[in-house]
Amino acid sequence: MPKYLLKPNPNSDFYLDWSTVSDDALAWGSREFMLEQGYEERRLEDCDERGTSAHWFRVDPEEGEVWVGCGWLPYSKMEEFFGTIAESYPDGEELPDSYTILEEHPELRDLLEEIDEE
């Protein structure tokens, strides 16, 4: 499955496993949590160095973004977005897709950037 880890903010202990198949997060949390979930130390070290475990780009915390359901989520707002979601789903509870999450938490839409229709 094509996926990579992101560390959207170099000054934060927050990592995200992003699927390029579903354009959705598979897991997120602190370094300790990600290691407990079986993620490789080497991939987290790559994130610390480049902001991502992918080798074809570097993360720019000011410019980067991912598609989430119905808008672009800037890297700078990822921790807030996924932190809000984590509070709603206890450990072990399966997460719904982004569309469902945005329906359940309409306030998260405020974190998304509008689609440029040009």
State the SS3 of 37-50.
CCCCHHHHHHHHHH
Q: What is the pLDDT of residue 21?
A: 83
Q: What is the pLDDT of residue 116?
A: 61
Q: What is the pLDDT of residue 90?
A: 63
The count of other CB atoms within 10 Å of the CB of residue 21 is 9
The count of other CB atoms within 10 Å of the CB of residue 114 is 7
Rounded alpha-carbon distances, angstroms, from residue 51 to 12, 23, 43, 74, 102: 11, 18, 10, 14, 26
pLDDT tens across the length of the chain (118 residues):
588 898 988 899 999 898 888 777 888 889 999 999 999 999 999 999 988 888 877 777 677 788 887 788 888 888 888 888 877 776 656 777 777 888 888 899 899 887 665 5
Please say whether the beta carbons of 101 and 24 come within 8 A.
no
Tell me the β-bridge partners of 104: none
